[in-house]
Structure 1
Amino acid sequence: MSLPRLAARLVLGYVGVVEGTAALIRFRERAAAFKTAAERAAALGRRLIVIGDPDAGMHTRLMRAYGCGDVCVDMNGCPKCPVTVVADITQGPIPDIADDSAVVFVSCVLEYVKDLDGALREIARMAGSPDNVFIVTVQPWTLTARLYPGARWRGTVDAAQSVTMQPVGLDEKLAITGALGLVLAAAFWPQSGRR
């Protein structure tokens, strides 16, 4: 095996390990944040609102990291959740959820909304306080944050649930996709003249 081919395969292996590890870390973060959100909702006597279908992501279809809460709000609904509100969190008040009445759990949803500020306003409206908001994001340095279909934003959430996001541009997606394509070609392109 040639040195460039070996190097390309090592790079792909490294990327796979990093992305897989990031997915496992996200799984644990989601499970922990959901548990804390559920405990807070129970302690305050508030409903736990889950934003986004718990089974909508590629990884979450394999194994759930969190549940439906008391109400699941999703643009397409949630077939497995007993109480679902089909709504877009960027479009104003969610029906039947009063101001400052809930604990809100959001997992890897903000990356895909068209109007980030609108989504954050609605989350804040329902929760009333940052103490009642639990957000998990895709790690901004991963390929998943940049290349997952529909990804528009990447960023972080700090301990105070303050969200810092920046747009994922088409130029960034194309550059990363092109670089991955070159590495894949170098790793697996058929070698001519060999039998």
Structure 2
Amino acid sequence: MGGGLAGLILAYNLREFDPIVFDRRRKAGKKCTGIISYDTFYSLNISREFLDREFKNIEILYDNKYSVHVNTNVTRLNREKLEIWLDEEVKTKRPRDAVIKGNIVISENEKYEGVIIDCSGWKGKAKWLKAIEYLTEPINEDKIIVYFDSRNKGGFSWIVPLPYGTLIGSISYINPEFFLPKIEKRNH
């Protein structure tokens, strides 16, 4: 259950058992910044075609006054492209609400029995953050930039340069647009 990245990758790896993925979203391909460690990418055992870029440095700015550079080995996983591809490779029922009762899944008055793995995400109690992300024109930058603003309690913003554009985004308990970073345009 759950047609996000975890559920689709699991179903793909178990496809010899003909699993069924139930997901409430109309289509696969969640947009996500998708920064993961290279080791995590490697352990997913998926094609490099879903990797947009590798980064060796992240700059973290606090209130645009203090800066820390972190040497790292992270990648930008094109989650949207990967989910769409995986969705074509496994049996998925969309859009579907499904309920698990023991070893039975009930969806649209149909019952499915067997081994059930719930990949529908975290069900804890939390105050939800709002997020916004845009793809803009490419910039000349080779690092990820993360912004922490003392006015944005619990949130942060980012700039992720990619070969075909730049992801700028923000996450916040209040309006994330207040914290979107500005980018310098590429000189042609």
Q: Identify the TM-score tier after normalising by the shorter chain.
A: under 0.3
* TM-score, normalising length: structure 2: 0.23
* TM-score, normalising length: structure 1: 0.22
- Structure with the higher strand share, 1 or 2: 2
